[in-house]
Structure 1
Amino acid sequence: MNIETLDIAVFVVYVIALIGIAGWVSREKAGHAKDTNDYFLAGSSLPWWAIGASLIAANISAEQIIGMSGSGYKLGLAIASYEWMAALTLIIVGKYFLPIFLKHKIYTMPQFLEQRYDHRVRKVMAIFWLGVYIFVNLTAVLWLGALAINTIAGIDIVWGMIFLGAFSLAYSLYGGLKAVAMTDIIQVVLLIIGGLFLSYTALNMISDGNGAIQGFVDLTNRLPEKFDMILSEDNPFYKDLPGISVLVGGMWIMNLSYWGFNQYIIQRTLAAKSIGEAQKGIVFAAFLKMLMPLIVVLPGIAAVIISPDLDRADEAYPSLMTLMPVGLKGLIFAALVAAIVSSLASMTNSVSTIFTMDIYKDKKPNESQQHYVLVGRLVSLIALIIAMAVAKPLLGNFDQAFQYIQEFTGFFTPGIVTLFVLGMFWKKTTATAGLLAALGSFVFSLLFSIFWPELPFIDRVGVVFLLCTGLAVVVSLAQGKGDHPQAVNVKDVQFGTSKVFNVSSLAVIALLIAFYTVWW
């Protein structure tokens, strides 16, 4: 497909504007040089609206837009459970996890693990997360983003990855988290407007010009099997989303790990002005998550009718973009790229934060603040280069990259959740027990995948979580050390939340009940 001159102009204006705004918000007062708090935590100054928007911008990327649309093309609306259950997970994180993290005044998740357990746990988990972020998350975003650009504009995938990486560095490398978070407001607005227009256009096409509402009615009538939220055992995709387990089983573990203990997500809340601002930001993000299936899943379902003969499911969203009118195509293209580069910037910033604060600073503790900031910038660059080099070998042959990401991370998330949850809420958990649970997660998951391959991976995640938790409890009790000297005293933590947070949380729960009741 050829991009028209007007589309190119719209996109170029977006690129220039974003880089300019990022430079403006990143400026420092005369005589002040960025320190680690400025660069990695935005000077602890983020307001709620920036936190909420940035949480979504970091989360919604190529793996979500392209990957979940692809899964919508194959599985249907059921894949939206990842979005809607995440909204409720965010409420739990804001209520019970965030107060503990902010009380400890941490930069990174590994730093919390050292404060709660010991240095071994911090180092092991820091290395683990660096590997996952570079070889799974960054590679997925780069590859799927470049695939979309290739489908829409015909640009070679390698050059597409280079452009995405260079663009994300151009607006984030100097300013750090503040540049990323503040410009994410623009990214999210663009993403929502572009995504809603694409959905509207697709539904209007299905209704032959009779409007999006009629198009949605026609879509549900023509493809009723695509609107089952809870899949039955005879569904060909039951193994991906195994029925009621989606609501009560392993998806909770996946979501708690992602939204509660994932550095490039939780880092925004650690940079808040106050805990109240962080919690308002989280509930704002929860409402945005409720909207996301309309933007990332519905187009994939619509593509079953509009483009029924696609070679790959992940081509569903890009194929719809080719049908957009001139000018608006450029806007939607900019929205897609906005989602991609904001996630890339978030991930590279978190990689640099973990490497600098958890590994490099431990080896060289007496360097200047500006030296650590420089190291962080270099690490961001190196991480992107590595991810570009390995993206095609790792992801080039997968039909549904989103499912690949979920299944791969599912090997490790049960142990991570055990490590953190027991660390926060059970004083007797020892460092050795927590470390064994984290490492045992991979072993248990591998054994299940070999000897019980037909077990749906979401169910496997739930079972492995129970095994990891049991292992940690047994080891802790066997060591007989009593309460850990660095255990969290929850009596000293303020878990109270504002009226706005409480009412908003009830609204999210009510919406979830309504959605699952209608499309059960």
Structure 2
Amino acid sequence: MGTLDWIVVGGYFFVMVAIGYWSRGRIKNIADFFTAGGRMPWWLSGISHHMSGYSAVMFVAFAAEAYRLGLTVYVWWSLTIGVGVGIGAFLWAGAWNRLRAKHGVKSPLEYLARRYNVPAQQLMAWAGAALKVVDIAAKWVAVALLLQGFAGVDVKLGILLVGVVTMVYSVLGGLWADALTDFGQFIIQGLAGIAMFIAVAAHFGGIDFMWEIWDRLPESHSDPLSGQYTLIFFMALFLIKTLEYNGGMWNLAQRYMAAPSGAAAKRSALLSSALWLIWPLVLFFPMWAAPLIVPGMEANAEQAYVEMGKAMLPAGMVGLVLAGFFSHTMAMVSSDANVISAVITRDMLPRLWKRATRLSEPAQLQLARITTFAFIGLSMTIALTADTKGFVLKVVIALVAATMGPIAIPLMLGLLPWFRRIGPTAAIASVIGGLATWAYLYVEQQNKTEWVTQAVIVSAPLVVSLVLYLVVGLLKPEPSADRDALVGSLQRDDPDVPSDAAIRA
């Protein structure tokens, strides 16, 4: 990287911190910090939802799979998310918003104590928080590997550099800072992605490369599903991503909660869905073409995108692409930190420290900032002590994808009216059964058991969790007038819910 590239990266970091400082003035209480007070325009909510859904992992682990296997990574990753979020626009987006508007909920898990009971809520809170810490550690490693590849910066120094900047604006500005930096990062990512796409098109002599490269790549690279990514894997991941990206990944539920109304949240989801279906194609085509530009990197495919960028982009553009990588990771981490802070502050601490429920508004806001700082610091510590080789893909697929289903099923299905008779017994059995299945399979995978494939370790915990939720709920229904009233209230906006225009006024 040259001087101009470093100026671009440094300017990016400065802008992110400045946005955090500016957003601090908009934060008056924890409702502002966690849900933007329900005043976020639907289009900003939708862009923020999209940006918060992926990180530099795409340019490390997923780019490596695109290099080795081709088209399949778009099919089982981006396509599943785009279609799943589109479905969720009609099922979940409005319900999340109405939890805030009608019930004053500030954390996605806050409603679980009423929907099920406190033990069910705490089980999901602790399991999900532990999962998120490791997940974000993988994101730090991914972006640090990219910084090392482009600029030769030590991985540990890269983790500290990106982590500290993210920590500053997340702690200062809450969800407003997250959303505004998401929008800025969306612009930067757009410029960086288009720059790389144009560079690759120019290398091959025009836009025709999009369909001509497949004749020069191995035949299997055009297969929708290939390698370890089977039909079973695809079906399991589709259900997982539908749950995860509609609120099972807690930070994405916040984006819907921050919109002015349920109808606005639905529009946010549809915008995010469209972006998921279209934009990753711009990002993936250079990755699919990479074997023709930087061949022979199968053994070190995680660095393929880096090598291609260094070979093809002029001074300044390398820095812009690297800033785009940062934007992915910082968007996801800051939003995760905010929602984990909400869960800790609203759902976990009050059960451990009774005084937390009696804190003043300023004290609650201070506590939220402290927990945000602690979460980011802990995830950075894990990343700094991890063995980075293969860490990213292992965490994202073998851990996060495999355990997200058991944690998300009671959370997400509990919002829908068809499951209103299912109570805490089924919810607890679902989470414990699914996580126990994953733990057993993970041990077997480490022991090199042949039948424990990637498809099995991703799909089995999800199936066990779903079956337990439905079967236990059917055999032991736990109807409640209060639960019926809660779920019923989430199905439509009240007539007096203000519009986007009224909110802006």
Q: What TM-score, normalized by structure 1, do the two folds share?
A: 0.85
The count of aligned residue pairs is 477
Quick check: 248-257 or 381-390, which moved more? 248-257
Range with bigger deviation, 483-492 or 149-158:
483-492
- Partner of 1:183, secondary structure, is helix
> Could you tell me whether the CA contact under 8 Å between 1:109 and 1:262 is conserved in 2?
no
Aligned AA for 2:409?
T
- Contact 1:429–1:484 under 8 Å retained in 2: no
Q: Counterparts of 1:417-496 in structure 2 under 5 Å?
A: 417-423=408-414, 424=416, 425-448=418-441, 450=444, 453-454=450-451, 456-458=453-455, 461-479=458-476, 481-482=478-479, 485-487=482-484, 492-494=489-491
Task: Tell whether the 8 Å contact from 1:177 to 1:349 is kept in structure 2 after alignment.
Answer: yes
Is residue 2:277 matched to residue 1:283?
no
Q: Matches of 2:473 and 2:369 in 1, distance apart?
A: 40
Q: Residues 258 and 453 of structure 1: is their aligned pair in 2 closer, same or farther, counting only changes over 3 Å? A: farther
Q: Give me the whole-angstrom Cα distance separating, in 2, the residues matched to 1:86 and 1:226.
A: 23
Question: Which residue does the alignment assign to 2:253?
Answer: 266
Task: Indicate conservation of the 8 Å contact 2:433/2:465, yes or no.
Answer: yes
Aligned residue number for residue 320 of structure 1: 308
Cα separation, 2, equivalents of 1:303 and 1:104? 46
Report 1:103-252 matches (<5 A).
Answer: 103-105=98-100, 106-135=105-134, 137-205=135-203, 207=204, 210-211=205-206, 213-225=207-219, 227-231=221-225, 235=226, 237=227, 239=228, 241-243=229-231, 245=232, 248-252=235-239
Choose 425-434 or 246-255, whichever is displaced more.
Answer: 246-255
Q: Are the equivalent residues in 2 in contact too, given 1:412–1:438 (CA < 8 A)?
A: no
- Residue equivalent to 1:379: 371
CA contact (8 A) 1:61 1:141 kept: yes
Q: Distance in 1 between matches of 2:259 and 2:182?
A: 15
CA distance in 2, matches of 1:430, 1:102: 22
Q: What is the CA–CA distance in structure 2 between the aligned matches of 1:201 and 1:171, rounded to whole Å?
A: 33
Change (3 A) 1:482 1:387: closer
1:321-336 map, 5 Å: 321-323=309-311, 324-336=313-325
Measured after TM superposition, the shift of residue 304 of structure 1 is 1.3
Q: Find the counterpart in structure 1 of residue 500 from structure 2.
A: none
Q: Between the two proteins, what is the percent identity of the paired residues?
A: 22
Q: Is the 8 A contact 1:35 1:370 kept in 2?
A: yes
8 A contact 2:70–2:288 mirrored in 1: yes
Query: Structure 2: 5+ residue runs without aligned partners?
Result: 494-505
- The letter for the 2-side match of 1:104 is L
Shift of 1:483: 5.1
**CA–CA distance in structure 1, aligned partners of residues 212 and 473 of structure 2:** 57
State whether residues 104 and 112 of structure 1, in contact with CA within 8 Å, keep that contact through their aligned partners in structure 2.
yes
What amino acid is aligned across from residue 421 of structure 2 in structure 1? K
Letter in 2 for 1:90: V
* Matched residue, 1:390: 382
User: For 1:446 and 1:340, how far apart are their aligned partners in 2?
Assistant: 28
Query: How far apart are 1:404 and its partner, in Å?
Result: 3.8
> Comparing 313-322 with 419-428, which one deviates more in the overlay?
419-428
Alignment partner of 1:175: what SS?
A: helix
In 1, Cα distance between the equivalents of 2:25 and 2:15? 16
Quickly say closer, same or farther: Cα 1:195–1:132, change in 2 above 3 A: same
Closer/same/farther in 2, CA of residues 366 and 290 from structure 1, 3 Å limit:
same
Is the partner of 1:111 in helix, strand or coil? coil
When residues 138 and 173 of structure 1 are mapped into structure 2, their CA distance, relative to the original with a 3 A threshold, is same
Q: Please give the residue correspondences for 1:278-317 in structure 2 after superposition, counting only pairs within 5 Å.
A: 278-310=265-297, 311-317=299-305
Counterpart-to-counterpart distance in 2, 1:126 and 1:78: 33
Tell me the distance in 2 between the aligned counterparts of 1:454 and 1:203.
42
Q: Deviations over 1:130-159 (max 9, x none)?
A: 111112x21011001011101111111111
CA distance in structure 1 between the partners assigned to 2:294 and 2:162 by the alignment: 27
Compute the displacement of 1:492 (Å).
4.6
Q: CA RMSD in A?
A: 2.5
The answer to whether the 8 A contact 2:310-2:318 is kept is yes
Alpha-carbon distance in 1 for matches of 2:412, 2:327 = 34
On the 8 A contact 1:65/1:296 being kept in 2, the answer is no
- 8 Å contact from structure 2 (residues 340, 372) kept in 1: yes
User: Does residue 99 in structure 1 map to residue 99 in structure 2?
Assistant: no
- When residues 251 and 459 of structure 1 are mapped into structure 2, their CA distance, relative to the original with a 3 A threshold, is farther
1:111 offset after TM fit, Å?
1.2
Q: How far off its partner does 1:442 sit?
A: 1.8
Q: 1:87 to 1:185 in 2, by over 3 A?
A: same
1:249–1:459 CA contact under 8 A, matched in 2: no
Cα gap change, 1:489/1:16 in structure 2, threshold over 3 Å: closer, same or farther?
A: closer
Could you tell me how far apart the structure 2 residues matched to 1:471 and 1:158 are? 42
Displacement of 1:339 in angstroms is 1.8
Separation in 2 of the partners of 1:22 and 1:336? 19
- Structure 1 residue aligned with 2:398, among 395, 407, 425? 407
Q: Structure 2 length as normaliser, TM-score?
A: 0.87
Aligned to 1:84: 79
- Note the alpha carbon deviations across 1:233-254, whole angstroms, 9 max, x for none: xx5x1x2x103x4554442233
Aligned 8 A contact 1:114 1:122 in 2: yes
Distance 1:407 1:473 in 2: 25
Q: What's the secondary structure of 2:172's corresponding residue?
A: coil
Question: What residue number does 1:517 align with?
Answer: none
Write the distance in 1 (CA, Å) between the matches of 2:111 and 2:358.
21
